[in-house]
Amino acid sequence: MQIAKKPLLSIEASAEGKGIVLSPKGPLAPLAAPIIDRINRVFADEKPILFDPDKFRSDKFGSEKFIFSTWIPPAPSLAFDRMLSAQVAALTGRNVPDQFSIAVMRACPNDCIHCSAPTRQGEILESGIVKKSIGEALDMGSYLITFDGGEPMLRKDLPDLVASVNERAVATSFTSGYHLTPELAKALKQAGLYAVRISIDSPMEEEHDRVRGRKGAFQDALSGVKNALDAGLLVDLFMVTSPHNIDHLEEAFSLASQLMVHELSFYEIVAVGRWASHEDEVLTSKDVARLERFHKEKNRSEQGPRVTALPYLLSPQMFGCFAGRRWIHVDGAGVALPCAYMPLGFGNIKEKSLREIWKDMTRYKWFRGRCSCQMRDPEFRAEHSEIIGK
């Protein structure tokens, strides 16, 4: 069946076993083939969140669609169409900010020892400014809009902000689970939120609370998961991996399975913010390879949630790091950064259009070509040591 269509390119999807295979059609098919092949490599032997081969073959989704991941829009949809267009555009050097994330709240009940944005004071971004920047991101081609913090659930107008994301993109939000009440979860679902990413630092309650700097943080995460699931939201349990929890992948998967979340995502700790002086306490290349093996092993099994190991998927061999190439993050003060973990400002959305910021960002010498996380690059860190160390 056809799941995306542009004047010169359409994408056909066919069911094969437990997954799907994408095929480009049209004049631009030869150009799109490399990125479609890369997507198919990710799809191959991996379980999606929602997929019924019989319904897929009969083209009768009803309210159900093919959902591969909380990081990817459902298919068919306009947002999924735009995602594929963004992949093709990247091949021709016309990158768009696939992902636009914005810190809508500075306040946070936690005091995490590894926080990348430890500033918890100051005015929050005005609703009009947030909505304006979201509109600009959508006009530029973004298909994934993420609300970040601090703790976004503390923002009273969060459902209204979510509702400003139209059908061109999907809206997601990070949260520690704090204040994600049943009422708020329902309001966010009604506003159009696609998924919530609920953070854990350890599958063990005592350790999670220690890292978060607050007793009760683990229980908040569990309550947030339950309330989000009850409201019909997709839930991604999000764990930042470090040398301190890399040996607990199985326990994290067991917890995610018990909670019946849709996805378990692994990121990697970055030596920035409160962790800036811990350059020796980050993942090694062997750790990343371990995450890749875990990603593939769990996704071959029908049991448990989908696993997404972002250090593997954002490696040069796959899609490469998105920072400054396909991602804009706006911090709580309005400063636009290449990603949430790279404190390198390119202007403030209160004073500069997102399009102008993107033009300057994509021209920066470090954001050319496909690479892994540059915050792990000694040369990059040396050149930006004054900024990273702040």
Q: Looking at residue 53, what is its pLDDT?
A: 57
Average pLDDT, the chain: 89
Write out the two tokens for 322.
Answer: 């998105």
pLDDT at 116: 86
Closest CA to 148 of 183, 106, 194, 112: 106
Q: Would you state the structure tokens that stand for residue 211, as one six-digit string?
A: 């890292």
pLDDT digits (tens, 9 = 90+) for 328-362: 999 999 999 999 999 999 999 999 999 999 999 99
Cis peptide before 76 (omega within 30 of 0): yes
Asked if 373 and 314 touch (Cβ cutoff 8 Å), the reply is yes
Take residue 166 and report the two structure tokens written for it: 């139209």
**Structure pTM?**
0.91
Q: Which residue has the higher pLDDT, 132 or 315?
A: 132
Which is more confident, 318 or 53?
Answer: 318
Highest mean pLDDT among 44-48, 94-98, 125-129: 125-129
> What pLDDT score was predicted for residue 132?
98
Cα separation, 70 vs 143, in Å, equals: 12
Sign for the pseudo-dihedral over CA of 95, 101, 102, 107: negative
pLDDT band at 38 (very low <50, low <70, confident <90, very high): confident
pLDDT of residue 4: 58
Distance CA 168, CA 171 (A): 10
CA atoms of 207 and 212, how far apart (whole Å): 9
| pLDDT computed for residue 19 by the predictor | 63
265 vs 249: CA distance, rounded Å = 11
Q: How far is CA 293 from the centre of its chain?
A: 20
What is the percent of the chain where pLDDT is above 70? 92
Q: What is the dihedral of CA 149, 152, 155, 156, to 10 degrees?
A: 170
Question: Residue 2: what pLDDT?
Answer: 56
pLDDT per position as a tens digit, 282-311: 999 999 999 999 999 999 898 999 999 999
* pLDDT at residue 8 tops 80: no
Cβ–Cβ under 8 Å, residues 239 and 252: yes
Say if residue 370 is exposed, middle or buried (CB neighbours under 10 Å; 0-12, 13-18, 19+): middle
Is residue 3 pLDDT above 80, yes or no? no
Which band of pLDDT confidence, cut at 50, 70 and 90, is reported for residue 45?
A: low
pLDDT-derived band at 210, boundaries 50, 70, 90 = very high
Q: Looking up tokens 């631009």, which residue turns up?
A: 28
The tens digit of pLDDT for each residue in 71-83 reads 999 988 899 888 8
pLDDT, tens digit (0-9, with 9 covering 90-100), for 224-281: 999 999 999 999 999 999 999 999 999 999 999 999 999 999 999 998 888 988 888 9
> In terms of pLDDT, which residue wins out, 266 or 4?
266
**What are the CA-CA distances from residue 64 to residues 2, 27, 46, 75, 154 (Å)?**
16, 31, 19, 10, 31
- Both structure tokens of 48: 């999606």
Full 3-state SS string of the chain: CEEEEECCEEEEEEEECCEEEEEEECCCHHHHHHHHHHHHHHHCCCCCCECCHHHHHHCCCCCCCEECCCCCCCECCHHHHHHHHHHHHHHCCCCCCCEEEEECCCCCCCCCCCCCCCCCCCCCCCHHHHHHHHHHHHHHCCCEEEEECCCHHHCCCHHHHHHCCCCCCEEEEEECCCCCCHHHHHHHHHHCEEEEEEEECCCCHHHHHHHHCCCCHHHHHHHHHHHHHHCCCEEEEEEEECCCCHHHHHHHHHHHHHHCCCEEEEEECCCCHHHCCCCCCCCCHHHHHHHHHHHHHHHCCCCCCEEEEHHHHCCCCCCCCCECCCEEEECCCCEEECECCECCCCCECCCCCHHHHHHHHHCCCCCCCCCCCHHHCHHHHHHCHHHHCC
Q: How confident is the model at residue 55 (pLDDT cuts 50, 70, 90)?
A: low
pLDDT confidence of residue 59: 44
At 58 the pLDDT is 46
The band of 60, judged by pLDDT with boundaries at 50, 70 and 90, is very low
pLDDT on residue 27: 83
**Considering the chain, what percentage of its residues have pLDDT values greater than 90?**
62
User: Is the model's pLDDT at 114 over the cut of 80?
Assistant: yes
User: What gap in Å lies between CA 139 and CA 146, rounded to an integer?
Assistant: 16
Asked whether the bond before 150 is cis by omega within 30 degrees of 0, the reply is yes
